Amino acid sequence: METKTKKTEKKFDAIKTMREIRDKISLEIMNMTYEQERAYLDKLLAQGKAKAK
């Protein structure tokens, strides 16, 4: 018995987007101390909460 699957074109690729975001953040925090990383991530989270409203 053969099964056929339909391929649909994605309008938004969540995995690709997540990897791009992760890679960008990794490059930005690469040479930071723990305290600098913490401040950077806290700032990003604060901005994200403001945008979500």
- pLDDT tens for residues 3-41? 788 777 878 999 999 999 999 999 999 999 999 999 998
Which domain covers residue 31, as residue numbers? 15-52
Task: Confirm whether 46 is domain-assigned.
Answer: yes
Q: What is the pLDDT of residue 9?
A: 82
Give the predicted TM-score (pTM) of the model: 0.59
Q: Give whole-number Cα distances, 52 to 19, 28, 36, in Å.
A: 21, 23, 24
Q: What is the pLDDT of residue 4?
A: 80
Q: How many CB atoms lie within 10 A of CB 29?
A: 14
Task: Confirm whether 9 is domain-assigned.
Answer: no
Helical H segments across 1-53, by residue range = 14-29, 34-52
CA–CA separation, 51 and 35 (whole Å): 25
Q: What is the pLDDT of residue 2?
A: 72
Provide the domain count of the chain.
1
How many Cα atoms within 13 Å fall on the side-chain side of residue 14? Answer: 0
